[in-house]
Structure 1
């Protein structure tokens, strides 16, 4: 196995162009497990630990966009970005142990592209963009278009993830997952919901309940209509219980789960519905409307 260790970003892109089969190594929280159990044996590893800019966080981006370098650890997201990226910070807090959160990153999560990646639902709900680069140039990929299948994404063979661009929250956001413990487990399922008052829309993200992370688009459209027709954005009126129940049903319908050792497909659909209803209650209760907020549960 060859070990490539570029000193900077330009060298990293050149190495990836010369060796498209080289597997990026940053935190190594997924890759090293596969190597240790002999589940994967790549011909080359591309160590990105010396590429300093990948560890940068820019919170003064255009349009209040937070730019997370690909190897910014979850620990930094939890400690520094709770206000601008609340759902992602909540998701980051559930990732593994403190040691794992000190090494694992959103960039690595995206590169692995697991349907159960904890960061993915929050990124979908926030409408993130993934910055990919190669010696040919760079591009911003909408998170909706990034995942193509289980552990597959749209990156070309010569591309690396440089950063993730996430607009700072303008409304409440939530993330919740089901597992045998609150952390240090792969999610049975996960759900994220973000309110976007400036566009009067909501976005969702579902993890570990389909071949890829997905949005519950029908549920979003339904809730957009309820909030608009009922004047909820202006007055903060509670979402009717019947509407909250229908939103939960539509969220569950967006899933295409499987039976596995962590849970059955039926259980996952049920759990997603529960998480959808709960996160709707939590986000709307935090919506800063003049009349306050009330329960939708």
Structure 2
């Protein structure tokens, strides 16, 4: 196994072009586990840890441009206001040591359906900045996942950054695991309200071959809230609407049975998380709008 250690981004792109099968590594929290268990034995490792710009972010404007190697701990400490859903998800990642090394870029590159950042990225509305010696492109995050641990990157491309819309409304995240910490998600759910456009976005993890949005549930909820006047009044969500939203979210899943949980359990858990996170996020929204009477 050859170890490539570029000094800057241009050198990294050139190395990836020359060795398309090279596996990028920065924090190493996923790649090194696979190598240590002999699940992967790449010919080349491409170490990106010396490239400073990958560890930086820019929060000017409506989006946060998050460098691919910014660790979860810095998101929690410095970007919890701009990216509250992602910060909540980051809190659930591994141990403090893992949060100090692991990154959203690494999570995207691994493309595991159980990756903790994916539901929050889907709910917030993110784009992946992919670059090669041929140029740069932005990939909507819902188009980035192409299969179990597969993504839309070309062989010569690297993830340079992730562009994530700043929160314009409340966001929430929930995760089910076999214990409270240091656990891979049995399933996870993220939700974000976008009051300016009166839309809702969701993200579901570990309940389908790829992370997915519950599009039908999103459209139903946004329309139901508008029809009942809840966006304007800040009144509570009718229980019937919350129940239907939960069932539609569960219907977006396509889970499997595995050692962490059955397909039936995952569908049920997603429904419960959808209903609960809707309650949390709407309660926060009501606090900004004033508390109205129950929607019609």
Contact 1:88–1:123 under 8 Å retained in 2? yes
Out of 97, 121, 124, which is 2:122 matched to? 124
Query: Alpha-carbon deviations, 1:233-256, whole Å to 9, x = none?
Result: 111011100110000000000000
TM-score norm. by structure 1 comes to 0.97
Contact 2:114–2:185 under 8 Å retained in 1? yes
Q: Distance in 1 between matches of 2:52 and 2:177?
A: 35
**Equivalent residue, structure 2, for 1:239:** 237
**Equivalent residue, structure 2, for 1:50:** 50
Query: Alpha-carbon deviations, 1:56-76, whole Å to 9, x = none?
Result: 01111x3x2111100000000
**Equivalent residue, structure 1, for 2:274:** 276
**Equivalent residue, structure 1, for 2:225:** 227
Query: Alpha-carbon deviations, 1:32-89, whole Å to 9, x = none?
Result: 01111111100000000001100001111x3x21111000000001111111100000
- CA RMSD for the aligned pairs? 1.2
Contact 2:213–2:252 under 8 Å retained in 1? yes
Unaligned stretches of 5+ residues in structure 1: none
DSSP-derived class of the 2:159 partner: strand
Deviation at 1:292, TM superposition (A): 2.6
Alpha carbons of 1:294 and 1:172: their partners in 2 closer, same or farther (altered >3 Å)? Answer: farther
Deviation at 1:294, TM superposition (A): 8.2
Question: Which has the larger displacement, 176-185 or 166-175?
Answer: 176-185
Counterpart mapping for 1:87-236 below 5 A: 87-236=85-234
> Does residue 18 in structure 1 map to residue 28 in structure 2?
no
TM-score norm. by structure 2 comes to 0.97
Deviation at 1:291, TM superposition (A): 2.6
Q: Distance in 1 between matches of 2:104 and 2:43?
A: 24
Aligned pair count? Answer: 294
Q: Distance in 2 between matches of 1:126 and 1:224?
A: 15
Unaligned stretches of 5+ residues in structure 2: none
Contact 2:235–2:294 under 8 Å retained in 1? no
Contact 2:123–2:190 under 8 Å retained in 1? yes
Deviation at 1:289, TM superposition (A): 4.5
Query: Alpha-carbon deviations, 1:111-144, whole Å to 9, x = none?
Result: 0000000000000000100000000010111011
Q: Distance in 1 between matches of 2:243 and 2:40?
A: 44
Contact 1:200–1:224 under 8 Å retained in 2? yes
Contact 1:95–1:118 under 8 Å retained in 2? yes
